[in-house]
Amino acid sequence: MAVPGPVTPEAPFEPSQPPVIEGFSPSVYTTPESFKEKFLRKTRENPMVPIGCLGTAAALTYGLYCFHRGQSHRSQLMMRTRIAAQGFTVAAILLGLAASAMRSRS
């Protein structure tokens, strides 16, 4: 039977301090960004996403307005346009993610 060796006490867990992980920095930015600064930075990185979001919102709003006015043909057209704008937005997000992944690799 093996005899256990002496037990060395580990440092107690300190909940007020984050754990130290070798090679990991919890924050890339030195100062915290405000919502406005982050929005502007993300818009500069991928300007097609906000354009797609605005197009989606505009098509939805106008389509609902036409529906309310009884213009069902135009309302249907605007709902189809909204779907296309949503597809454009999703494609812009995916292309932006791919571009940032390629940038981080090099």
- For position 64, what pLDDT does the model report? 96
Could you state, in order of their start, the residue ranges of all structural domains in the chain? 48-104
Residue 22: other Cβ atoms inside 10 A:
4
Cα–chain-centroid distance for residue 81?
A: 24
- For position 14, what pLDDT does the model report? 74
Q: Residue 80: what residue type?
A: R
Top pLDDT among 32 and 17 is at 32
3-state DSSP: the chain helix, strand, coil percent, rounded to 5? 65, 0, 35
Strands (E) in 5-66, as ranges, are none
pLDDT tens readout for residues 32-72: 889 999 999 989 988 999 999 999 999 999 999 999 999 99
Cα separation, 93 vs 42, in Å, equals 11
